[in-house]
């Protein structure tokens, strides 16, 4: 951090005004450097596939006490399981399957995400067998052969009314547990297609129109009114090369975001299919990416760390998966992960701050700041800038929030070329309140205080981690000091 003091005869750019006169004060200017640290923030980060359809992948080797604190930028634990595991008998549920791993990471301030699938290519009844026995129609299939009598696995008819009725009852119970929970980052619309991925070409091969697919979107929207929902890109097929499709346009209009699971599944030049489709989404909602299982991607010659970063750039992605045994993935891709962490989601940088060396209690003084978003996506949670003063014991003596500035509006740009925005905000510490002959003021003592900056809610609560040094442990960052002088009793 560069600190520069400017004298009265030098460059004066902090102007205090009091009763119509201008009084120049020496200023402190700091130009913090981005620490390069991975940031764990709301609506962005790496998502660990703790369950990847099979519950033996990929968190099963972790000890119960191991929450991967060494994985930089891990913010979400992704739990993707078949419906049959959660409701093996109608109306009887096994929520422990989700709650057990979830509580490990929730205790560390992380979130979870969910996908509940209705068809798998490794178990016969991902949709519980009792749904079929209740009269739901479906198809036996064998992967690679499509639907045929005596096929190894079973896929429901996704438009069948019995199936949809039972699914609706399950989603209602699921939403009663999770909708609006602060612990849930997002929930996939995972009830259509093999693996919940929005396609049937690895299962029955049966085709469905958009109206049937939309029923699955609408069922989720009916019950999940608060939590972010995500629609897989393969709902519109992998051959589309366009920014718009009727189904994705409909999803966006309902506040449902896009998830692209095609990343590095195939070698170049088909390393992904739907970066164009993400363009209408990312200015409004966080886009989610899932890369191919790391091991198979390497075997197919599809894996390339530079391409993974390029996918983040082209999709303006906020979430990226950890789709393999996590420490093996980290060991082999550490440099790529570090590069992605500097771009994934949003990265709010304080480029410069200036304030007077001293200010008088009860009188206005100005803090000037310069901000930029060095990530690929907006700061969807929003955030106001707060200036906090702390005394020598670390106690909060004053908090002042610039409610007129939301960091969400910071524009994103190519690497190293994000636009800056300058803010000039006036504060008064211990303002005097006059009631006739009486004068009231908060009891802030004259003295020297630490000045800290933060981004968060309108009441000054920090919420967004910044790539700055000197974190006080609560996402406030010490920039320097200011001396507060006595009130001017002659005013």
pLDDT band at residue 439 under the 50/70/90 scheme: low
Which tops the pLDDT comparison, 11 or 4?
A: 4
Q: 59 near 361, Cβ under 8 Å? A: no
The tokens 């500035």 sit on which residue? Answer: 405
Q: Would you say residue 230 has pLDDT above 50?
A: yes
Span 115-122, average pLDDT: 98
H-run or E-run covering 229 = strand 229-232
Give bridge partners of residue 142 from the DSSP assignment.
146
Residues 6+ apart with CB under 8 A from 35: 467, 468, 469
DSSP states along 147-198: E-TT-SEEEE-TT-HHHHHHHHHHHHHHHHHHTT-TTEEEEE--SSSGGGSS
Q: Answer yes or no: is pLDDT of 7 > 60.
A: no
Please answer whether residues 25 and 359 qualify as being in contact, where contact means their C-beta atoms are separated by less than 8 angstroms: yes
pLDDT score recorded for residue 4:
36
Name the residue with higher pLDDT: 165 or 22: 165
Which CATH class name applies to 2-37+347-485?
A: mainly beta
Q: Is 211 helix (H, G, I), strand (E, B) or coil?
A: helix
Residue 310 DSSP symbol:
H
Residue 437 is predicted with a pLDDT of 77
State the pLDDT confidence band at 17, using cuts at 50, 70 and 90: very low
Whether 45-341 and 2-37+347-485 are alike in CATH topology: the answer is no
254-306 pLDDT, tens digit each: 999 999 999 999 999 999 999 999 999 999 999 999 999 999 999 999 999 99
Angle value at C-alpha 457, between 179 and 365, nearest 5 degrees: 175
Tell me: pLDDT of 464 over 70: yes
User: Would you kindly state where each structural domain of the chain is located, as residue ranges?
Assistant: 2-37+347-485, 45-341
Q: State phi, psi for 187 to the nearest 5 degrees.
A: -135, 130
CA dist 415 → 69, 110, 233 (Å): 27, 27, 26
CA separation, residue 20 to residues 23, 364, 428, 430 (Å): 10, 12, 16, 20
In contact, 75 and 148? CB cutoff 8 Å: no
Q: What CATH number does the domain located at 45-341 have?
A: 3.20.20.80
What the block records as the tokens of 428 is 């008064």
How many other CB atoms sit within 10 Å of the CB of residue 38?
20
β-bridge mates for residue 379, sequence order = none
The yes-or-no verdict on residue 2 having pLDDT over 70 is: no
Cite the DSSP H helix spans in 316-443.
326-341
Residue range 284-298, pLDDT digits in tens:
999 999 999 999 999
């Amino acid at each position: 951090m560069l600190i520069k003091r400017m004298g009265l005869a030098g460059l004066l750019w902090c102007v205090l005004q009091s009763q119509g006169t201008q009084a120049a004060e020496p200023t402190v200017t700091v130009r913090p450097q981005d620490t390069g640290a991975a940031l764990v923030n709301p609506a962005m980060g790496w998502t660990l596939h703790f369950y990847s359809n099979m519950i033996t992948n990929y968190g099963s080797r972790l000890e119960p006490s191991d929450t991967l604190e060494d994985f930089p930028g891990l913010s979400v634990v992704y739990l993707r399981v078949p419906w049959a595991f959660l409701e093996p008998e109608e109306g009887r549920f096994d929520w422990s399957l989700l709650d057990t791993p979830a509580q490990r990471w929730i205790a560390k301030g992380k979130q979870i995400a969910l996908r509940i699938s209705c068809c798998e290519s490794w178990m016969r009844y991902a949709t519980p067998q009792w749904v079929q026995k209740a009269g739901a129609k479906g198809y036996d299939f064998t992967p690679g052969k499509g639907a045929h009598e005596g096929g190894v696995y079973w896929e429901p008819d996704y438009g069948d009314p019995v199936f949809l009725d039972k699914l609706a009852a399950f989603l209602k119970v699921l939403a009663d547990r999770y909708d609006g929970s602060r612990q849930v980052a997002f929930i996939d619309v995972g009830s259509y297609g093999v693996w919940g991925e929005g396609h049937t070409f690895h299962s029955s091969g049966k085709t469905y129109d958009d109206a049937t697919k939309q029923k699955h979107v609408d069922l989720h929207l009916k019950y999940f009114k608060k939590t972010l929902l995500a629609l897989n890109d393969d709902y519109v097929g992998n051959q589309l090369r366009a920014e718009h499709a009727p189904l994705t346009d409909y999803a966006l209009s309902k506040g449902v975001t896009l998830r692209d699971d095609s990343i590095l599944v195939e070698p170049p030049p088909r390393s992904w299919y739907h970066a164009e489709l993400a363009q209408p989404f990312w200015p409004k909602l966080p886009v989610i990416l899932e890369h191919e299982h790391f091991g198979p991607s390497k075997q197919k010659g599809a894996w390339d760390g530079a391409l993974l970063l390029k996918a983040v750039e082209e999709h303006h992605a906020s979430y990226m998966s950890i789709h393999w045994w996590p420490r093996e993935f980290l060991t082999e891709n550490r440099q790529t992960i570090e590069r992605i962490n500097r771009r994934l989601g949003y990265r709010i940088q304080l480029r410069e701050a200036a304030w007077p060396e001293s200010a008088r209690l009860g009188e206005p003084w100005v803090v000037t700041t310069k901000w930029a978003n060095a990530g690929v996506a907006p700061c969807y949670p929003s955030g106001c800038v707060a200036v906090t003063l702390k005394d020598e014991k670390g106690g909060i003596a004053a908090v002042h929030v610039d409610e007129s500035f939301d960091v969400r509006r910071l524009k994103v740009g190519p690497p190293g070329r994000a636009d800056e925005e300058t803010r000039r905000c006036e504060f008064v510490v211990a303002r005097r309140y006059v009631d006739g002959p009486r004068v009231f003021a908060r009891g802030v003592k004259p003295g020297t205080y630490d000045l800290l900056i933060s981004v968060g809610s309108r009441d000054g609560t920090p919420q967004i981690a910044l790539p700055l040094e000197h974190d006080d442990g609560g996402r406030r960052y010490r920039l320097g000091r200011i001396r507060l002088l006595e009130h001017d009793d002659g005013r």
